[in-house]
Amino acid sequence: MRNVARIKLGYYPLPPDEGTRLRQLLNYPTDAVSVLGPCAGTGAALVQLTDNANINRYAVELDAERARLGNWLTREQAKELLAVPDRSTLKGKRDYLIIALLVGCALRRRELAFLTIEDIQLREGRWVIIDLRAKGGRIRTVSVPIWVKQGIEAWMAAAKIDKGRLLLPLSKSGKIVGDELGDWAIWSVVEQSSKQIGIEHFGAHDLRRTCAKLCRKSGGDLEQIKFLLGHSSIQTTERYLGSEQEIEIAVNDNLGL
């Protein structure tokens, strides 16, 4: 039925303003619940309607045109995206950190939204994010690159914070206005920043995929990338990364024969 209706009426994504108004009307239980989006498209509406709630999200989309395939950036594009936020401002420092943690540590939106300062600790001489709970209840520890840690320190110093949630909401004038940043706000930062470098329909999860792709292209071990992403198996990570044939530098160029 939906396909017939689409032919007649077209496909209209939920406008963000309408999603915001609808979210204000929804009251979710404090205990964790599961929400299924049966015709989810790219999942943007599902994220917005469950923003800042204790929700396990599941989505189904059978229409290939609506269920956009995963996207990712090249290294040069990632650098360009990181340069978008104006780091002379408080908002710029926060937005830079959002992008840096997504592309540098492969975090999920919800993991980033709930990240606390106390979660960032020294282990074996380096900074890590401890005890991240992935899908299926798996626990993982994520190493924090030096340049990401520098972004964390710059934001914390400017925001004058030393405990609690790492990322905080800001008013239009750039003042802190609360103690919790919803994962929809993280989605918005990434989407708006990517538009400024000419990339449309690019979400926070695409930066997680970008991190994995760049790790692999830099020679990262597949099993270590699996640990970074919190996947249950190597096969899941292989499907996540996909396969790309390298023609310019082929694997059989260095057989030593």
Q: What count of residues does the chain have?
A: 257
The number of distinct structural domains making up the chain is 2
Is residue 105 within 8 Å of residue 142, measured between CB atoms?
yes
Return the pLDDT at 169: 95
Does the pLDDT value for residue 69 go beyond 70? Answer: no
Give yes or no: residues 30 and 80 share one domain: no
Residue 257 in any domain: the answer is no
Give yes or no: residues 146 and 49 share one domain: no
**Mean pLDDT across 187-216:** 93
Give yes or no: residues 199 and 174 share one domain: yes
Residue 36 in any domain: the answer is yes
Residue 254 in any domain: the answer is no
Give yes or no: residues 177 and 109 share one domain: yes
Residue 199 in any domain: the answer is yes
What pLDDT digit, counting tens, does each position of 128-155 carry? 999 988 666 788 999 999 999 999 999 9
Residue 154 in any domain: the answer is yes
Higher pLDDT, 166 or 71: 166
Least confident of 21-25, 39-43, 52-56, 80-84: 39-43
Note down the domain range covering 26.
Answer: 2-59
**CA separation for the pair 177, 172 (Å, rounded):** 10
Residue 69 in any domain: the answer is no
Residues whose CB is less than 8 angstroms from the CB of residue 26 and which lie 6 or more positions away in sequence, other chains included: 49, 53
User: In whole numbers, what is the pLDDT of the chain averaged over residues?
Assistant: 84
Give yes or no: residues 100 and 151 share one domain: yes
Give yes or no: residues 129 and 218 share one domain: yes
Residue 132 belongs to domain with CATH number: 1.10.443.10
The alpha helices in 44-163, defined as continuous H runs, are 44-49, 75-82, 90-105, 109-113, 146-159
